[in-house]
Structure 1
Amino acid sequence: MSLTLIIGNKNYSSWSLRGWLVTELSGAPYQEVTESLYRAGSRQRLLAHSPSGKVPVLKTAEDGVIWDSLAIAEYLAERFPEAHLWPRGQAARALARSICAEMHSGFVALRSHMPMDMQRLTALADVPDEVAVDIRRICTLWADCRARYGQDGPFLFGHASVADAFYAPVASRLRSYAVALPDEAAAYVDTIFQWPAFQRWHQAALQETESNQ
């Protein structure tokens, strides 16, 4: 199977991080191609890879192009069932899909006011109320998953899964913006930062020199 994953800047592209972590979790060999999101002509270059003009994009020799992080996750979960990208058990998978869908379509305030920037280590001067609401909801989600399924390991469902790939950029944001967290949420952020796959991405992001300004 031939796979090529198109991603954006590692310091800024949260959706690329999600797709990349899922691809890493699959265990499948793949080629990584990075396209700058902040240089002239970026839109045209991305359209050459995907009809959406966005990243991430997974190119497959057998099935063509798959775009959108959630679609990539579902595709790889079906192609590589032995990797258990979704947690084991029907109820756990349903919950994992629910929280991924909530991440996929929600938390707009958090995304708007705290965009991913792995090189940043500075708190916001003022956290808007709507961002605080998003953070509380995320902490509640994490606590629920950990209480129900965390007995087998430090991730949301014990082992690393699509759910962790989808919330890893949130963990990054919460650390970048020095957000004070409940102990359990802080421990989960530590888990993400200790995840070897995340660490590889993080180190590469810290070495980037391109700015989105």
Structure 2
Amino acid sequence: MYALYIANKNYSSWSLRPWVLLKTLGIEFDERFVPFLQGSSYEEFRKFSPTGLVPCLVDGDLTVWDSLAITEYVAEDHSSVWPADRAARAWARSATAEMHSGFSALRNICGMNVGVRVRMHEISAALQANLDRLDELWGEGLSRFGGPFLAGETFTAVDAFFCPVAFRIQTYGLELGEKSMAYSQRLLTVPAMKEWYQAGLAETIRDEPHDAEIALAGTLMEDLRAV
């Protein structure tokens, strides 16, 4: 059985991707939770991850790190990770890779923090450009492959990679077009997403650098996390 190392569900967008993918597809794994440490988690995470980062997947004697590499590794034994249709699969891989390497303004300005609600100070030009591209990309997938998920009828890796974005939209009150907003809400209703969200709210561990990002992005309006 796979062992998947993850960090705090409230903050760790990278951990969410393979976790929600495996959960939603019914692929068994043993969750190994290692929280962020004040200062640096590098040495603690290095005990299981070559990069000192999460997520990290261990399969027997094999260790696979990075969310995209984990996805491709799991796909070798589970065809449901990617769409069956070749055109949909090619599009899904491209969109996944774009999310994996791009949307830097969205990542840097709107860090994942599932348990709070923030009113943005402003939407910078760089952030708006990311949101416009996101709207375009989601609209293309939903229109081209018929929905309700990005590459067709079923949840696949491309949806998993955009799950953190759905949380960001909810946290920061970001706005997209009608079709994209409906898709974002759909991701939030996926059972595994609900499970992750409730676990994130229940966490009492606070990571100061992550929480400090809120003041840079906007005004904290509501904190739903357990005390």
TM-score category of the 2 structures, normalised to the smaller one:
over 0.9
User: What is the match of residue 77 of structure 1?
Assistant: 75
Displacement over 6 Å in runs of 4+: none
- Which one-letter code corresponds to 1:9 in the other structure? N
- Higher strand share goes to which structure? 2
Displacement after TM superposition at 1:127 (Å): 1.3
User: What do residues 71-108 of structure 1 show as CA deviations (whole Å, max 9, x unaligned)?
Assistant: 11111111122xx1101211111100101110111111
User: Over the residues paired in the alignment, what is the CA RMSD in angstroms?
Assistant: 1.3
The residue aligned with 1:98 is 94
SS at match of 2:120: coil
Distance in 2 separating the partners of 1:58 and 1:26: 16
The letter for the 2-side match of 1:155 is F
- Residue 129 of structure 1 is matched in structure 2 by 125
TM-score normalised per structure 2 = 0.87
Which consecutive unaligned segments of at least 5 residues does structure 2 have? 209-227
Q: One-letter code of the match for 2:148?
A: P
Identity %: 39
Q: Which residue of 2 aligns with 1:107?
A: 103
The CA distance in 2 between the partners of 1:191 and 1:18, in whole Å, is 16
Q: Is contact 1:58–1:72 with CA below 8 Å preserved after alignment? A: yes
- Aligned counterparts of 1:85 and 1:111: Cα–Cα separation in 2: 24
1:86 lines up with 2:82 in the alignment:
yes
Q: Which residue of 1 aligns with 2:162?
A: 167
Residue 40 of structure 1: how far off its partner (Å): 5.6
Q: Which whole-Å CA distance do the structure 1 matches of 2:172 and 2:27 have between them?
A: 34
Aligned position for 2:49: 50
Post-superposition shift, 1:26? 4.1
Structure 1 CA distance for aligned equivalents of residues 78 and 19 of structure 2:
15
Partner of 1:117: 113
Q: Which residue of 2 aligns with 1:7?
A: 6
The answer as to whether partners of 1:119 and 1:206 remain within 8 angstroms in 2 is: yes
Q: Which AA in structure 1 matches 2:177?
A: P
Scaled by the length of structure 1, the TM-score of the pair is 0.93
Deviation of the 1:148 alpha carbon: 0.7
State the match for 1:212 in structure 2.
207
Residue type at the aligned position of 1:30: F
1:211 alignment partner, SS class: coil
> Given the superposition, is the C-alpha separation of residues 25 and 72 from structure 1 closer, same or farther in structure 2, using an over 3 Å criterion?
farther
Structure 1 segments unaligned to the other structure (5+ residues): none
Other structure's SS at 2:5 match: strand
Task: Provide closer, same or farther for how the CA distance between residues 46 and 184 of structure 1 changes in structure 2, counting only shifts above 3 A.
Answer: same
Deviation at 1:125, TM superposition (A): 1.4
Aligned match of 2:197 in 172, 193, 202?
202
User: Counterpart of 2:149?
Assistant: 155
Indicate if the aligned counterparts of 1:121 and 1:176 stay in contact, CA closer than 8 A.
yes
Offset at residue 211 of structure 1 (A): 1.7
Q: What is the count of residue pairs matched by the alignment?
A: 207
Aligned counterpart, 1:183? 178
